[in-house]
Amino acid sequence: MEAVLKVGGSLAEYPSSLKKLCAKLASFAKDHKIVIVPGGGRFADVVRDLDRTYGLSNTVAHEMAVLAMDQFGLFLSAFISDSYVSYSLEKAKNLPRGMLPIFLPSKFIFREDPLEHSWDVTSDSIAAYIAGTLHAEKLVLVTDVDGIFTENPKKSLNAELIRELSAKQLLSWNKRTCVDRMLPKILLKTKLDCYVVSGMYPERIQAILENDRSIYTRITV
């Protein structure tokens, strides 16, 4: 497996970009062996919101957030031609070249239950765990910002894109970033190369798949 691509749910807020991205993902699958793992998007936001109002147990919130990924995966399948939605990692792994698997993680994650039940674990960590299980060469987190910044780029003009940092640095960095807090730990455990990249510019994702330079953050281990 070359890469697991997590497509962040926030991209659904940009319909024309998301549709363009989906068309590109289908074309990447012709040249690269990749698996899509969906983010949770607005469905996960509803879970967060209900959690804030009701104070859910960590386990119920975790399970609902994982189901949110299934939801968004089903949604993505509507825009990726030759995609194949699967609850089975085996099937997702062994599709013929050209077919793009979208892995719905609920059954696998509920069965294996490998991750802490907390909001430190979101679809980033789940995608990293899946990439580790698949022995993928790369984990690509496709989001709506250019990568990891020194500060929140949606709030600060001084925010600078970080081209490369180590998982250890990220771990020691006591700051909220666009990736979840558990991610660096899982990267260190799985020895997985990770890229954070904007889905608004699919050519950057292609560059990652082809080991070219472009605009993104690389998290090294």
Spell out a b/e string for 180-203, using b for 16 or more CB atoms within 10 Å of the CB, else e: bbbbbbbbeebebbbbbbbbbbbe
**Binding of residue 15 to its own copies (CB under 8 A):** yes
| Shortest reach from residue 112's CB to its own copies, in Å | 18
Residue 121 C-beta: closest distance to its own copies, Å: 17
Q: Does 23 bind its own copies (CB under 8 A)?
A: no
> 193-198 and 164-166 as β-strands: parallel, antiparallel, unpaired?
unpaired
- Strands ordered across the beta sheet of 100-103: 83-86, 100-103, 34-38, 3-7, 138-143, 193-198, 217-220, 164-166
**Helical H runs in the chain?**
15-31, 41-54, 58-77, 89-93, 106-112, 123-133, 167-172, 183-190, 202-209
Of 18 and 182, which CB lies nearer to its own copies in the complex structure? Answer: 18
Q: Cα separation of 115 and 57, whole Å?
A: 15
Contact predicate 8/38, CB 8 Å = no
Q: Which is nearer to its own copies, 22 or 183 (CB)?
A: 22
Q: Closer CB to its own copies, residue 13 or residue 212?
A: 13
Taking the alpha carbons at both ends of the chain, their separation in whole angstroms is 19
CB-wise, 68 or 127, nearer to its own copies?
68
Shortest Cβ distance from residue 92 to its own copies (Å)?
18
Tokens 């070219």 identify what position?
212
* Closest CB to its own copies among residues 22, 89: 22
Q: Which is nearer to its own copies, 82 or 151 (CB)?
A: 82
Q: Does 54 bind its own copies (CB under 8 A)?
A: yes
Binding of residue 95 to its own copies (CB under 8 A): no
Among 1, 26, 46, 159, binds its own copies (CB under 8 A): 46
- Tell me if 75 contacts its own copies by CB under 8 A: yes
Of the ranges 55-63, 118-126, 188-196, 207-215, which one interacts with its own copies (CB under 8 A)? 55-63
CB of residue 208 vs its own copies: minimum separation in angstroms? 26
Backbone φ/ψ region at 99: left (φ over 0), alpha (ψ -120 to 50), beta: beta
CA within 13 Å, CB half, 197: 26
Among 7, 25, 37, 67, binds its own copies (CB under 8 A): 67
Binding site for its own copies (CB under 8 A): 12, 15, 42-43, 46-47, 49-50, 53-54, 56-57, 60, 63-64, 67-68, 70-71, 74-75, 77-79
